[in-house]
């Protein structure tokens, strides 16, 4: 089940964020601002109970015609079971209802083969390699999906 993230999810989302991205994680304040803004901040849950968050995705509209997917996480114990694909499919269905949107972009570490594979499966293409995009000289791919 896919639902909008609300402020009551903040603590749990922050905990997941820290566990997965460690020192690279978004701050609590940033997550709070993203929940309060009109970003597309969606969670996937196993049941109606908030404690059962499997993962989440955050997209911000950074241009009149574009969403930027800035975060996408499935909790470790739920990975490789198809939940990431399910969350991406539902997200794209929702984005398709925004008729003004003609593309989604995202940045991903060039070493994150699993995420890159998933994005490609949904039609994202690598547009550019950006050297030293992340800390510790890690490079990124800029990927784009035309809608």
Of 61 and 109, nearer to ligand COA (C-beta) is: 109
Which residue, 123, 81, 85, is CA-closest to 103?
A: 123
Question: Among the candidate windows 10-18, 41-49, 105-113, 128-136, which touches ligand COA by CB under 6 A?
Answer: 105-113
Options 31-39, 93-101, 106-114, 128-136: segment touching ligand COA (CB under 6 A): 106-114
37 by Cβ neighbours in 10 Å (0-12 / 13-18 / 19+) ranks as exposed
Please list, in sequence order, all residues whose beta carbon lies within 8 angstroms of the beta carbon of residue 140, skipping any fewer than 6 positions away. 107, 108, 109, 110, 129, 130, 133, 134
With contacts defined by CB under 6 A, how many residues of the chain interact with ligand COA?
19
User: Which residues ranging from 110 to 129 are in contact with ligand COA (CB under 6 A)?
Assistant: 112-115, 117-118, 121
Q: Of all helices (H) and strands (E), which one includes residue 13?
A: helix 10-21
Binding to ligand COA (CB under 6 A): which residues in 24-83?
72-74, 79-83
Distance of alpha carbon 6 from alpha carbon 63, whole angstroms? 24
CB of 74 to ligand COA, least distance (A): 4
CB of 121 to ligand COA, least distance (A): 6
| 47: phi then psi, degrees, rounded to nearest 5 | -145, -170
- Binding footprint of ligand COA on the chain (CB under 6 A): 20, 72-74, 79-85, 108, 112-115, 117-118, 121
């Amino acid at each position: 089940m896919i639902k909008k993230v609300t402020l009551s999810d903040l603590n749990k989302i922050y905990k997941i964020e820290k566990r997965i991205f460690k020192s690279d994680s978004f701050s609590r304040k940033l997550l709070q601002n993203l929940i309060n803004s009109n970003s597309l901040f969606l969670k996937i849950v196993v049941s109606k109970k908030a404690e059962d968050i499997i993962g989440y995705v955050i997209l911000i509209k950074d241009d009149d015609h574009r969403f930027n997917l800035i975060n996408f996480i499935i909790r470790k114990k739920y990975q490789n079971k198809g939940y990431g694909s399910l969350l991406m499919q539902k997200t794209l269905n929702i984005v398709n209802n925004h008729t003004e949107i003609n593309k989604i972009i995202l940045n991903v570490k060039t070493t994150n083969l699993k995420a890159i594979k998933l994005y490609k499966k949904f039609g994202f293409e690598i547009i550019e390699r950006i050297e030293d995009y992340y800390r510790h000289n890690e490079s990124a791919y800029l990927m784009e999906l035309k809608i």
